[in-house]
Chain A
């Protein structure tokens, strides 16, 4: 970013917004926004507490489980959809429906099915993330150059060898892009799930803070979640960057 000919690092915009937040908070115009410095201070009081740590552990565990499940189901589902027209016709409509559906509305149903516990949160994360992973994997598999598949075939590759050594690797850029978006949706899923169940993890904490009007703590918790989502997405996009040349090669 450049302003008046000076190069300004990206972090500057964050600082600016923090400043605006601070000013608005200090003016005391809106009750919901305590000054930013107070939020940061709350961060330091909230994070070391046992209830935060417990919530963090249960959140990370249910997030990780849901994501693992979403990847384990989404990638093979997308691969099958990309490879076999029959599967695509059978599952395509549903995947496309779910990828844009307001899934939060389904959480109460999930709660009925899986109870008021971690299982519901795991399933919510799964449902938020799996569809986009499947769709992107499908696109990736579709874009594998046919000559690569023919090449494997001509050198005597079995179906399994073609799938594992050619198709999955050739579609990796799209699969990773799907997983990155899936992770971000998964974070949404874990929060929505916990909020609706509201007796476990960060959901319980959010409930506690907002009910008692502890806005600084509430925002501190939000910051933690934002940072978590950004960190995950950053990690995957670094991985994506390392294999970015794939896609370039494919065009030629």
Chain B
């Protein structure tokens, strides 16, 4: 495993030509609440296509705040967010968000929920429903199109949330603790599906998590944030063999060492 604070490692499945510039870049992000609380203090990061980056840190480190600033849902006090080299000030079709609490509309069917992003864009009904069906099948929910969220389990609801984000075909997928509200078995299955998705699509994934194991298991790169004020304390690149089965990976010494290492780094913030 290697550590660096500036260098960007090659993504797991880097192929052919690598674009010179990162897909998403944040520069000197500062977020203050009032005059006292500093949630983020000068965070600069770059995210590249095909790469899954985890934002990891104890509660209060501003990881969700950073994600929401990238999404354009929050305005930073200072600093800027660039997507493909262009400064963005709000949400855009280039980024899609997956919510911790799923944020599904309880009055709408799975189909309509998944198609909602396209509905807002004004895509014709037939077309958006066709796209939605494709993505519903893709996340393994074929046959559930006409169900309502309350008829689904937590894991299935989050799949709906993921399908909705995929349906708008954004380049960047922002996920805010996507697995924290689902049970452990579902979470593991979900993590594997996410890795598969990552291999299939050259999208930029930015995932907020508080689980060290999850971050190490999923990520090409882990950004460790320290709390109050939120700063990048370390960037970890887990060099884990990806060929094995999930069980083999979780028993791999490198995996275990990386988890331990990160825990040692984070420990002082918890105590």
Q: Does chain B have a CB within 8 A of A148? A: yes
In the complex, B116 has a CB within 8 A of chain A:
yes
Residue-wise interface mask of A (107-120) relative to B, using a CB-CB cutoff of 8 A (1 in contact, 0 not): 00000000000000
Shortest Cβ gap from B67 to chain A (Å): 11
For A248, the chain B residues whose CB sits under 8 A away are 150
- The listed residue with most B CB atoms (<10 A of its CB), out of A152, A169, A170, A249, is A249
Q: Is A151's CB under 8 angstroms from B99's CB?
A: yes
Residue of B nearest to A172 (CB): B107
User: When the two chains form the complex, which single residue of B93, B103, B106, B149 contacts A156, counting CB atoms closer than 8 Å?
Assistant: B93
Assess the B103–A150 pair: CB atoms within 8 A.
yes
Cross-chain contact A147 with B103 (CB below 8 angstroms): yes
Are B99 and A150 in contact, with the CB atoms below 8 A? yes
Contact string, B62-80, partner A, CB cutoff 8 A, digits 1/0? 0000001001110000000
Q: Which of B77-111 contact A (CB under 8 A)?
A: 91-93, 95-97, 99-101, 103, 105-107
- Contact of B144 with A by CB under 8 A: no
In contact, B73 and A153 (Cβ under 8 angstroms): yes
Contact between B72 and A246, CB atoms less than 8 A apart: no
Per DSSP, chain B at the interface is loop
Binary A-proximity of B117-136 (CB < 8 A = 1, otherwise 0): 10011000000000000000
Residues of B within 8 A of A147 (CB): 99-101, 103
Most interface-central of A148, A155, A166, A248 (chain B CB within 10 A): A155
Whether the pair A150, B73 counts as a contact (CB closer than 8 A) is yes
Pair B107/A155 contact, Cβ less than 8 Å: no
Say yes or no for A211: interface residue by CB 8 A criterion.
no
CA distance A166 to B105 in the complex (A): 8
Of the residues A154, A157, A243, A249, contact of B97 by C-beta under 8 Å? A154
Contact B116 A155 (CB under 8 A): yes
Q: In the assembly, what is the distance between CA of A156 and CA of B90, in Å?
A: 9
Is B55 in contact with chain A by the CB < 8 A criterion?
A: no
The residue that A154 contacts in the complex, of B91, B106, B121, B150, with Cβ under 8 A, is: B91
Q: How far is the CA of A93 from the CA of B117 in the complex (A)?
A: 39
Chain B residues within an 8 Å CB radius of A152: 120
Query: Is A159 among interface residues, defined by CB-CB distance under 8 A?
Result: no
- Is A249 touching B96 in the complex (CB atoms < 8 A)? no
Q: Taking CB as reference atom, which chain B residue is nearest A250? A: B106
Is residue B40 within 8 Å, beta carbon to beta carbon, of the partner chain? no
Interface size on A, residues (CB 8 A): 23
**Residues in A whose Cβ lies below 8 Å from that of B73:** 150, 153-154
| A245 interface contact, C-beta 8 A | yes
Residue of A nearest to B174 (CB): A154
Q: Using Cβ atoms and an 8 Å threshold, which residues of chain B touch A170? A: 105-107
Contacts of A156 in B (CB 8 A): 91-93, 117, 120-121
Does A28 interact with chain B (Cβ within 8 Å)? no
- In whole angstroms, what is the CA distance A157 to B90 when docked? 12
Most chain B CB neighbours (cut-off 10 Å) among A145, A250, A252: A252
Q: Which residues of B contact A85 (CB under 8 A)?
A: none
Q: A161 within 8 Å of B by Cβ?
A: yes
Q: How far apart are B174's CB and chain A's nearest CB, in angstroms?
A: 8
Measured between alpha carbons, how far is A252 from B149 in the docked complex, in Å?
A: 11
- A186 shortest CB reach to chain B, Å: 26
Complex Cα spacing A169 to B108, Å: 10
Minimal beta-carbon separation of A97 from chain B (angstroms):
34
Let me know if B168 is at the binding interface, CB within 8 A: yes
Closest partner residue, chain A, to B118 (CB atom): A155
- In the assembled complex, which residues on chain A have CB atoms less than 8 Å from the CB atom of B103? 145, 147-148, 150-151
Given the contacts A145-B101, A148-B103, A148-B105, A153 and B148 also touching, CB distance less than 8 Å:
no
Distance from A23 Cβ to chain B, minimum over Cβ atoms (Å): 50
Whether A245 pairs with B99 at a CB distance below 8 angstroms is: no
**Quick one: given A152-B120, A154-B96, A169-B107, are A245 and B101 in contact (CB under 8 Å)?**
no
Can you pick out 28 interface pairs between chain A and chain B where the beta carbons lie within 8 Å of each other? A147-B99, A148-B105, A150-B68, A150-B97, A151-B97, A151-B99, A152-B120, A153-B73, A154-B71, A154-B72, A154-B73, A154-B91, A154-B95, A154-B96, A155-B91, A155-B117, A155-B121, A156-B91, A161-B120, A170-B105, A170-B107, A172-B107, A243-B107, A245-B106, A245-B150, A246-B107, A248-B150, A250-B106
B residues in contact (CB < 8 Å) with A: 68, 71-73, 91-93, 95-97, 99-101, 103, 105-107, 116-117, 120-121, 148-150, 168
Q: B-contacting residues of A (Cβ < 8 Å)?
A: 145, 147-148, 150-157, 161, 166, 169-170, 172, 243, 245-246, 248-250, 252
